[in-house]
Amino acid sequence: MRWAHGGPGAVPAMPPPPPVPPMPRQAPAAGPALTEWLRTARPEAEPGVWRYGHRPKPPEDPDRLDDRQLLGGAALALLGGLLVWSLAYNGYLPPLMWPLGWIMPDSWRGTGKAVNLIHVYRVVLALLLAYVFGRLGRWDEVWRRHVRPRPADRDGAGTTPAAVSGGGPADPVLWPRLRAAGEHAAADRLTAEIHAGRMTDVDYARIERAWQSVRAEPARQPEFAREVLERGAAAFTHPSGARDLPVRAARHDLLTGQVRLGAAPDEERNPYAYRGVRLALEPALLSTSLLVVGPSAAGKTSRVVRPAVESLALQALAGRAAVVAVGAPGAGLGPDEAYDVVIRLGSPGSAHDLDLYGGTEDPDEAAAVLAEALVGDAPGGPGVPGSEADTRRAATVLAQLIGPHRAAHGRFPSVPELRELLDGVPVALAALRQACEAAGDGAALRELDARERQSGRPGDPGPLLADRIALLDRPAFAGFFDTGGTTRPFAMRDLEHPLRVRIDLPERGHAEASRLLARLLLAQFTAGARNRDERSLFACLVLDDAEQTLTPASVRAVQRLRTANAGVVLALRSLDELPEPLRAAAVGAVGCRVVLSGVSTWDGEVFAQAWGREWVKTEDVTHNPDFSGGPLRRAARGVRTLFTGVRATTRSVTVRTVQRERWSASDLAHEVPPGHAVVSLTTVRGETSPPVLTRLGE
């Protein structure tokens, strides 16, 4: 479906069913063959771990030696064993040969039997020395770790995902679920498409999603089989006709819905379970929402936001998600060809428009959302955003005007009309009253009477609302936010479908309007996502620049998205871009947090408090003057002190268990290397990961 922006006669149009789309001429990103991709294991893992080919780690051993110590000790034991054997063989260690004399009969001495017994004894001695020095050098651990790794350390390649999840070792290339349901012909067709190279990972995920919907409605199974037999890998194609993105900037796994974010270095600072593994994002994590904080050029967009948007766009093509990405023009959120709808607010060349009222037909709901955008950030005290009472009063004023306007004209007012009504222009109010009288709507007239009584009173939010809506009543926005019915602007209500939408906000000369629009989009999304009928689709709003976007109401609304299979991604240069009372609340409202290198200690303090403390063992070392020993020993120490200038001391070590911040504010500000971030993740089920130092982009 098209969301048009243009002159009279531009009406919504349904495109004809697309023909069978051709395969992409080349893969958008390098990756394994589809058969290998399907057969690679994806074992269950901790939250955020990249599951494709993941190697589960053995339980942590507190006495485990690192590789250097282990191999060094093994080499030393080997050299020691060879030395002892050489000395014993050449007769330099007589005690080792004494048992030979004890067991050899006197009659054998000087005979061939004695020679054979000596050879046997030396073999037994060599085996005994190998056993003893092998135990000393931990050669069994060297064998398990480096020669024949345990099954838990092996790569899962070659094992099917079904086997890992307990569903049996069936080959997914053969579409076993379709065969189990009796659809052998459809399964054969899809298997042939895979072997012929005509199917992509998006095709597989899309058809698998369609089959899941058939399992929920068995009556659709014949239709499913017919579509597969006719179109093969192109069955159930996205309405856009696209079967892949024009380019991929990140590594994706559509079977798990994951996109790779980076790799956790194998170092003591990271928890054992995450050392050396790769981290990833997925809808189960984004459902708890994601906050990304880092200064400009730290990689917020290119290394975190862009991969997340790209993953959601791929899942939209597979019929699993809907995404709205909001940023400045040229923000790097992907090419136009990667989206179904691109709205360039303030640009005359924009082919699509935005619904100011979010697509709702309820005046009260429209007024509440619009009031949140217009006055939700208005100061209600020293450094405090607007109170709920202020927002409710503003919503009441808007409802008293847009409700009668809809009753009289069958539509909500346009931006210029709404500005005139809020300004209290007599001609505009009189015309609206006459239209309501002509329609015979007594309730609308009572609303207008109430608005006239409140107008001009101290504390009336009307003038503030008029000033804020005037930001959108500018020549640059002429023709946008159409309510006349000649076009159908995009609205958040349309997220019932697997859409890919990008909205470019005007920044040059319209910074305040851009922030107002960002608040409007966030308010519309949180309201629309909770009211969706189709919640099997994951819906996500991505704000590449969330400066001055969050309000007390929107922070609470973000928390409620978890139960609606929806989430938001918020990117900030610093928490200073939020009102001070909202900073801790915003960090606490989201389940996933990414702190990039270069943040300030003030920002780090908020995250340090959110991540809390952990119990750790510390060693306190003290040095005290050494007064032990007799006169001779003390005199020797005195001579050494006279010549070296260093007084002899004794060393004592005290081991204690104390609570320490997982990541302190100073660590976040000064210990995170460039290109790295500290990442903590939470699933919608409540599973959490500790903060993990991550090298982004790997």
Neighbouring-strand partners of residue 292: 571, 594
Structure tokens at 248: 């991929």
Query: Strands 278-281, 341-344: parallel, antiparallel or unpaired by DSSP?
Result: unpaired
Q: What is the pLDDT of residue 386?
A: 55
**For residue 407, is it within any domain?**
yes
**For residue 445, is it within any domain?**
yes
Q: What is the pLDDT of residue 150?
A: 54
**For residue 380, is it within any domain?**
yes
Would you say 53 and 158 are in contact if contact means Cβ atoms under 8 Å apart?
Answer: no
pLDDT band at 264 (very low <50, low <70, confident <90, very high): very high
Residue identified by tokens 């966030």 is 522
**For residue 4, is it within any domain?**
no
What domain range includes position 405? Answer: 363-477
Angstrom distances, CA of residue 362 to CA of 22, 114, 523: 43, 107, 15
Flag whether pLDDT at 15 surpasses 60.
no
Structure tokens at 247: 């380019």
Q: Which of 477, 492, 527 is the last residue of a domain?
A: 477
pLDDT per residue over 294-317, tens digit each?
A: 999 999 999 999 999 999 999 999
Structure tokens at 391: 């927002």
Q: Which of 424, 446, 477 is the last residue of a domain?
A: 477
Angle at 184 between CA 242 and CA 207, to 5 degrees: 20
Q: What is the pLDDT of residue 69?
A: 81
Residue identified by tokens 């389940």 is 591
Q: What is the pLDDT of residue 385?
A: 56
How far is Cα 551 from Cα 377, in angstroms, rounded to an integer?
6
Q: What is the pLDDT of residue 11?
A: 31
Would you say 471 and 512 are in contact if contact means Cβ atoms under 8 Å apart?
Answer: yes
- In sequence order, what are the residues at sequence separation of 6 or more whose Cβ sits closer than 8 angstroms to the Cβ of residue 496? 322, 532, 533, 534, 537
Q: What is the pLDDT of residue 486?
A: 77
Flag whether pLDDT at 13 surpasses 60.
no
Q: What is the pLDDT of residue 444?
A: 92
pLDDT band at 503 (very low <50, low <70, confident <90, very high): very high
Who wins on pLDDT, 590 or 509? 590
pLDDT band at 594 (very low <50, low <70, confident <90, very high): very high
Residue identified by tokens 């040095």 is 623
Who wins on pLDDT, 64 or 548? 548
Q: What is the pLDDT of residue 162?
A: 42
Number of domains in the chain: 2
Would you say 445 and 403 are in contact if contact means Cβ atoms under 8 Å apart?
Answer: no
Q: What is the pLDDT of residue 605?
A: 96
Q: What is the pLDDT of residue 550?
A: 93
Who wins on pLDDT, 650 or 226? 226
Who wins on pLDDT, 682 or 1? 682
Q: What is the pLDDT of residue 598?
A: 94
Neighbouring-strand partners of residue 571: 292
Flag whether pLDDT at 149 surpasses 70.
no
**For residue 464, is it within any domain?**
yes
Who wins on pLDDT, 36 or 118? 36
**For residue 581, is it within any domain?**
no
Mean pLDDT of the 194-216 span = 95
Q: What is the pLDDT of residue 636?
A: 74
Burial per residue of 240-266, b for 16 or more beta-carbon CB atoms within 10 angstroms, e otherwise: bebbbbeebbbbbbbbbbbbbbbbbbe
What single letter denotes the amino acid at residue 274? Y
Q: What is the pLDDT of residue 171?
A: 93
HSE-up of residue 56 (Cα within 13 Å, Cβ side): 13
Q: What is the pLDDT of residue 512?
A: 92
pLDDT per residue over 464-487, tens digit each?
A: 999 999 999 999 998 899 888 777
Residue identified by tokens 């030393």 is 76
Mean pLDDT of the 634-655 span = 73
**For residue 435, is it within any domain?**
yes
Average pLDDT, the chain: 86
Q: What is the pLDDT of residue 593?
A: 97
**For residue 325, is it within any domain?**
no
Widest distance between CA atoms in the chain: 135
Q: Is 13 helix (H, G, I), strand (E, B) or coil?
A: coil
Who wins on pLDDT, 126 or 692? 692
Q: Which of 118, 147, 176 is the last residue of a domain?
A: 147
Mean pLDDT of the 657-666 span = 87
pLDDT per residue over 231-254, tens digit each?
A: 999 999 999 999 999 999 999 999
pLDDT per residue over 48-107, tens digit each?
A: 999 999 988 877 766 667 778 888 888 888 898 899 888 888 888 888 888 877 888 877
pLDDT band at 186 (very low <50, low <70, confident <90, very high): very high
**Of 566, 643, 577, 636, which Cα lies nearest the Cα of 606?**
577
How far is Cα 503 from Cα 486, in angstroms, rounded to an integer?
21
Flag whether pLDDT at 153 surpasses 60.
no
Flag whether pLDDT at 692 surpasses 60.
yes
Mean pLDDT of the 389-395 span = 88
pLDDT band at 387 (very low <50, low <70, confident <90, very high): low
Q: Which of 337-341, 381-385, 652-656 has the weakest average pLDDT?
A: 381-385
Flag whether pLDDT at 117 surpasses 90.
no
What global pTM score does this model have?
0.82
Structure tokens at 408: 């009289």
pLDDT band at 380 (very low <50, low <70, confident <90, very high): low
- Phi and psi at residue 67, in whole multiples of 5°? -60, -40
Flag whether pLDDT at 165 surpasses 80.
no
Flag whether pLDDT at 29 surpasses 50.
no
